[in-house]
Amino acid sequence: MTSDKKFILKGNICYSEDVHTLKTVEQGFLICQNGKSAGVYREIPEQFADYPLEDCGDMLIIPGLIDLHIHAPQFSFRGLGMDLELLDWLNTNTFPEEARYGDLEYARKAYQIFADAMKRSATTRACIFATIHKPATELLMDLMEETGLKTMIGKVNMDRNSPEYLCELSAEQSVRDTVSWLEETRFKYGNVKPILTPRFIPSCTDELMERLGELQKKYGLPVQSHLSENQSEIEWVKELCPDSGFYGDAYDRFGLFGGNGRTVMAHCVSSAEPEIALIKERGVYIAHCPQSNTNLSSGIAPVRTYLDRGMNVGLGTDVAGGSGESIFRAMADAISVSKLRWRLQDDSLKPLTAEEAFYLGTIGGGSFFGKVGSFLEGYDFDALILDDSSLRHPQPLTLRERLERFIYLSDDRHIRGKYAEGKRIF
């Protein structure tokens, strides 16, 4: 749904036109027309002269940030168990906690904390994992609808290689619950949409994947999952799927790897050339989660390769693999780990720039949702008003320098306003 609001924000405007081009306009005018950006101007065009104006003074105005990969039920244990690798971490921390969401009272308490944090954050769009529990997933959707953020939320599917207390009884039951969930939620919300969510290949039987592929075609749904995150996981997939050429091929066999619809795969840390080629061919989105990949000892994704090949890449926080919901932190971490990869692993892959990291956190991931993540004309009006006045400095700074400092130094206290599709969230 679009807003019928028409207004103008005046301030220091920064947005990406493409992966290499950061546009900055000092004391410019950003026009909102029916929930869409009508462009950025140095003077107000005559046709918008009667629109109400909000003067943001010396504050920065940027597009809302995009989180392509976050686990809502893991928010409760962020910052814990960071000395474990992925598979041990899942069994020790993740699965026992996610099982608690079978209790709706607990789910309400935990998901309210998550929803409140997401509302306060710089994120305006997100792809969110829930759990296998249908009632708790619907509760999460209800709570996120109230935040005003634009999100895609998935009931997780997993019917093998999972603890008995967090494993669906069969592929048939998993799909039956998923269909029931879809029928109840597909058209229920204005801000929240469902997304198919097989957890990852090791936890989903071929029968379940085949049926989810059929659901994807029937309902035209987007898909989210995990890909080539950890070496042990990749070897496990080879054992489970001997007929697949590589991890991504195991999804592709069932029509769950782009092509038929939008797909986002988290991580892609260790994707080899055949997998990279298929990701590009199918238009699959990569959710780069640098902090999680560091915390869980997974490695460093070759994001420079992905960008140079014109692939679809955005950022994810991957809470609780990542310790918080800040996409600004993900931008800073993406730059940092790219430097380490360049220095220690492959000096042919240049580190990311601040402009490129900002692109990843805005229009790079935003395009998964459509024309989102920029102030180019016709894009959804998702915007943040940022106050960096408390980040004191003795020297004059350009807008580009102020934005870079904000990426590294800011937190939620510096966000003074937030819009999604032209509707003010706070």
**In angstroms, rounded to a whole number, what is the distance separating the alpha carbons of residues 206 and 115?**
34
Residue 153 is which amino acid?
I
Q: Whole-angstrom Cα distance, residue 113 to residue 105?
A: 13
Average pLDDT across each block of 10 residues of the chain; the chain has 426 residues. List them in order.
75 97 98 98 97 98 98 96 90 96 98 98 98 98 98 98 97 98 97 98 98 97 97 96 97 94 97 98 98 96 98 98 97 98 96 98 98 98 98 97 97 96 97
The answer to whether 265 and 225 have CB atoms below 8 angstroms apart is yes
Identify the three-state secondary structure at position 311: coil
Q: What type of residue is 413?
A: R
**Residue 86 is encoded by which pair of tokens?**
């992925």
- List, as one string, the DSSP characters of 53-115: EEEEEEEEEEEPEEEEEEEGGGGGGTTS-TTS-HHHHIIIIIHHHHHGGGSHHHHHHHHHHHH
Backbone torsions φ then ψ of 244, nearest 5 degrees? -90, 140
DSSP 196: B
Q: How many CA atoms lie within 13 A of 34 on its CB side?
A: 3
**120 CB contacts (<8 Å, ≥6 apart)?**
412, 415, 426
Contact 295, 82 (CB under 8 A): yes
pLDDT given at position 133: 98
d(CA 131, CA 154): 8
Q: What is the pLDDT of residue 3?
A: 45
Question: For the CA atoms of the chain, what is the radius of gyration?
Answer: 21
Query: Which CATH superfamily is 65-369 part of?
Result: Metal-dependent hydrolases (3.20.20.140)
What distance, in Å, lies between the first and last C-alpha atoms of the chain?
A: 19
Domain range summary for the chain, segments of one domain joined by +: 6-63+375-424, 65-369
**Number of neighbours of residue 402 by Cβ within 10 angstroms:** 20
Query: Can you say whether the dihedral through the CA atoms of 99, 102, 106, 108 is positive or negative?
Result: positive
Which CATH architecture is the domain 6-63+375-424 placed in?
A: Roll (2.30)
Distances (CA, A) of 190 to 32, 71, 193, 235, 270: 19, 21, 8, 41, 37
Q: Residue 35, by phi and psi: left (phi above 0), alpha (psi -120 to 50) or beta?
A: left
Residue among 149, 150, 122 nearest 406 (CA): 122
Res 260: pLDDT: 78
Beta bridge mates, 225: 265
Sequence-distant (≥ 6) Cβ neighbours of residue 247 within 8 angstroms: 201, 227, 228, 234, 237, 271, 275
Are 295 and 266 in contact by the 8 Å Cβ rule? The answer is no
Cα 300 → chain centroid: 18
Residue carrying the six token digits 């870079």: 404
- Quote the tokens at residue 115: 């929803």
Beta-strand ranges (E) seen in 130-282 are: 150-154, 156-157, 192-194, 197-198, 223-227, 263-267
Cα 140 to Cα 195: distance, rounded to the nearest angstrom: 13
